[in-house]
Amino acid sequence: MSTANIPNLSHLWMPFTANRQFKEHPRLLVKAKGMYYTTAEGKQILDGTSGLWCVNAGHGRQEIVDAISRQAAEMDYAPSFQIGHPNSFLAATAVAGLMPEGLDRIFFTNSGSESVDTALKIALAYHRARGEGQRTRLIGRERGYHGVGFGGISVGGIAPNRKAFSSSLIPGVDHLPHTHDLSKNANSRGQPAWGAHLADELERLVALHDASTIAAVIVEPLAGSTGVLVPPKGYLEKLRAITEKHGILLIFDEVITGFGRLGAPTASSFFGVTPDLITLAKGVSNAAVPAGAVAVKRDVHDTIVGATANGIEFFHGYTYSGHPLATAAILATLDIYAREKLFERAQKLSTQFEQAAHQLEAAPHVVDVRNLGLVAGIELESRKGAPGARVAEAFAKCMDKGVMVRYTGETIAVSPPLIIEEGQIAELFGTIADALKTIA
């Protein structure tokens, strides 16, 4: 890269990045349109990750650009405490229309992390409003990712995310086991047949802590950031049954799976399992403006609101909740999803996507391929003495070959925009295969 194209890199502390390594060999993106990014050198890069699991409708959608521009010119900001603006109500109605039946009360946030912490607070407030304020315990899952707020990393189960903050995580949290076992479910196509019984571990935690102390269980219906862990058949159904039995709220973290990733509006509707709260972000605005939301069952909302005779019922919110530009982007984005039938498109492409992904089973270093909808994980064998090095090299090789993937742990994660074409699916997985052949 020409030094003329590189800004001063020293001042920015980059998130979730090996800063020293990046700044020695920076990779800068300067444009995006449709399925492609453009680098500072002018090279086109096929986006195999929807940016960061978020640009579901593809890049540079003119409808969204126009909606944001119009809104910025008309009203750049309006406070959301004690005052409203029309688009926030319109956007909430539009989001509610895509949620499972009954989850039609929408609380806007600005990110997935904020959505998770909001959902956890709603769960605690709900039980207090019901007269069961002793229900304060939260149950997450090993290898779960729920953002970077203190609530999210407390219920999350990815060790490096928790390590530096372990002494300050919120108390009263326990974790279910994760569902990934290569000896039982390697190279599963869709949902693995093995593992539903792992949901029964919730009964053990209930017996240990007593149900009367547990407020909520939070899981990703399909875990993304930990390396694409697909739920076993029957697993989510068991979690739902156990939580209902004991009066525990069930929260699905759908920051990644919401808005078409599995070929349906939500993973909840895809699996036919309805939780009490759903956390959303990313695809809700096509990532054009930071935005998030929590979809809440009407009964949960009404219980909290009804417990206060006058004044504020729920002491929580953000300066940018329902920001005018965000709600404009949400409305334009959801219109694109409906008009272009992108969720249905993802469902139709999922068979070819699955076949292309599983052709990598025989590729060098691959120990597992797993998939569902338009998301796949290709797990590599760890290099002895250098965990994560091989998958990092695979990421770099793919970028050099014109394809952007994501890596986490030892897994290459693939989650392209829903507008991907059949030939681009072949190019995406073919490039990964070629890259793996060049790695020791």
| CA angle in degrees (0–180, nearest 5) for 49-51-53 | 60
The residue from 339, 355, 386 where one domain ends is 339
Q: How far from 143 is each of 340, 368, 434, CA to CA, in Å?
A: 35, 17, 29
What crossing angle do the helices spanning 112-129 and 298-306 adopt, rounded to 10°?
A: 60
**Same domain for 392 and 325:** no
Q: How far apart are CA 187 and CA 304, in angstroms?
A: 45
Q: Which domain holds residue 99?
A: 65-339
**Same domain for 323 and 402:** no
Q: Would you state the pLDDT for residue 6?
A: 84
> Which mean pLDDT values do the consecutive 10-residue runs of the chain (440 residues) have?
74 95 94 97 97 98 98 97 97 98 98 98 98 98 97 96 92 97 96 98 98 98 96 98 98 98 98 98 98 98 96 97 98 98 98 98 98 98 95 97 97 98 98 97
Q: Would you state the pLDDT for residue 4?
A: 57
At 322, the amino acid letter reads G
**Same domain for 378 and 349:** yes
Q: Report the CATH number that the domain containing residue 82 is assigned in CATH.
A: 3.40.640.10
**How many separate domains does the chain show?**
2
Q: What is the pTM of this model?
A: 0.97
The residue from 339, 364, 381 where one domain ends is 339
Q: Are 375 and 414 in contact (CB under 8 A)?
A: yes
Strand partners, 137: 214
The residue from 278, 312, 339 where one domain ends is 339
**Same domain for 360 and 262:** no
Q: Would you state the pLDDT for residue 392?
A: 96
